[in-house]
């Protein structure tokens, strides 16, 4: 007789890949044969994963329709086992899947909407942290500013999208008629974050996007000013950097500073 560990492995292989190794170890009855019993578990596994995808990507469901989304979910489940202890994180590669599969890659809005919805959920689930106050910055000595670096709220996320997925997503969530899908000539930088229990997002200018990315990668304030010289010139760069910093602090993006 197989060990319990081997039985568990055989059962998992049947659920995931329909391996027949476990079939001889299952006792059936006239009313419920062994294969029927196994089928209940196998079917429930795939159905539960597909259900979780629908909850994580509700606007992708609306764009495709229920029937087509069921086909997508079934194909994704066949291609991707769940490596997570929590089903909440299943679906992390759906955008990649939509971009690669021939039947879906011709509709790039779907992949971008999946990226957007996944980021929205991740922002809401991010760890809590106390935002830095503007008053805290007034205590920093002038000679320290050039080397001042910033600590960012765990929810802060950057995304670049070509399609108007955020507008469509917001319209569906507000139960309004969504705008027609449209693509920009260049990708649009977006910023997403959470403050307390509310999530926020906004598009960025290319200059702010570059400065924000640099600041999040560890650039000190003095180097941010130098970077902004390329956008607004040396005379205006310090004021521009200060204005950006003020906006980031006011929005709750920054939780601390260090040199």
**188-228 per-position pLDDT tens digit:** 999 999 999 999 999 999 999 999 999 999 999 999 999 99
| 12 within a domain of the structure (yes/no) | no
Q: Which of 23-32, 108-117, 229-238 has the highest mean pLDDT?
A: 108-117
Q: Which domain holds residue 200?
A: 129-259
The model's pTM is: 0.84
Q: How many CB atoms lie within 10 A of CB 83?
A: 8
Q: Does residue 101 form part of some domain?
A: no
Residue 197 falls within a domain, yes or no? Answer: yes
- How many whole angstroms separate alpha carbon 53 and alpha carbon 77? 9
Q: What is the pLDDT of residue 217?
A: 97
Rounded Cα distance between 99 and 110, Å, is 8
CA trace torsion 70, 51, 34, 82 (10° rounding): 100
Q: What pLDDT, on the 0 to 100 scale, is given for residue 33?
A: 61
| 99 located within any domain | no
pLDDT digits (tens, 9 = 90+) for 127-179: 999 999 999 998 899 999 999 999 999 999 999 999 999 999 999 999 999 99
Whole-Å CA distances, 35 to 10, 15, 29, 232 = 14, 12, 10, 70
In a domain, 253, yes or no: yes
User: What's the total number of domains in the chain?
Assistant: 1
Is residue 137 included in any domain, yes or no? yes
Residue 181: strand, helix, or coil = coil
> What does the block give as tokens for 174?
């507000």
d(CA 239, CA 218): 20
Tokens at 67, concatenated = 């029937």
pLDDT of 85? 83
The answer to whether residue 50 sits within a structural domain is no
Domain harbouring 249, CATH code: 3.90.930
Strand 198-203, strand 183-195: pairing: antiparallel
86 within domain boundaries: no
Q: How far apart are CA 244 and CA 137, in angstroms?
A: 14
CA distance 109 to 178: 13
DSSP 4-59: HHHHHHHHHHHHHH--GGGGGGS---SSS-HHHHHHHHHHHHHHHHHHHHHHH-HH
Q: What percent of the chain has a predicted confidence (pLDDT) above 90?
A: 73
pLDDT tens digits, 16-64: 556 555 555 566 566 656 565 655 555 567 788 999 999 999 999 999 9
């Amino acid at each position: 007789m197989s060990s319990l560990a081997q039985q568990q492995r055989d059962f998992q292989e049947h659920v995931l890949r329909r391996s027949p190794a476990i079939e001889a170890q299952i006792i059936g009855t006239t009313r419920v044969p062994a294969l029927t019993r196994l089928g209940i578990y196998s079917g429930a596994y795939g159905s539960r994963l597909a259900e979780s995808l629908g909850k994580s990507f509700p606007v992708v469901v609306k764009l495709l329709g229920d029937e087509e989304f069921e086909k997508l979910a079934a194909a994704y489940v066949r291609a991707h086992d769940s490596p997570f202890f929590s089903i909440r994180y299943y679906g992390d590669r759906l955008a990649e899947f939509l971009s690669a599969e021939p039947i879906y890659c011709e509709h790039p809005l779907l992949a971008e909407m999946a990226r957007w919805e996944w980021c929205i959920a991740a922002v809401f689930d991010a760890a809590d942290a106390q935002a830095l106050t503007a008053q805290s910055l007034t205590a920093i000595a002038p000679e320290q500013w050039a080397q001042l670096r910033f600590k960012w709220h765990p929810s802060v996320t950057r995304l670049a999208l070509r399609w108007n997925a955020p507008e469509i997503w917001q319209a569906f969530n507000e139960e309004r008629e969504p705008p027609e899908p449209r693509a920009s000539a260049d990708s649009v930088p977006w910023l997403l974050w959470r403050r307390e229990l509310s999530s926020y997002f906004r598009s960025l200018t290319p200059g702010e996007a570059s400065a924000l990315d640099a600041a999040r990668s560890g650039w000190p304030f003095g180097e941010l000013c130098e970077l902004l010289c390329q956008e607004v010139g040396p005379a205006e760069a310090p004021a521009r950097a200060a204005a950006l910093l003020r906006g980031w602090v006011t929005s709750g993006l920054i939780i601390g500073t260090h040199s």
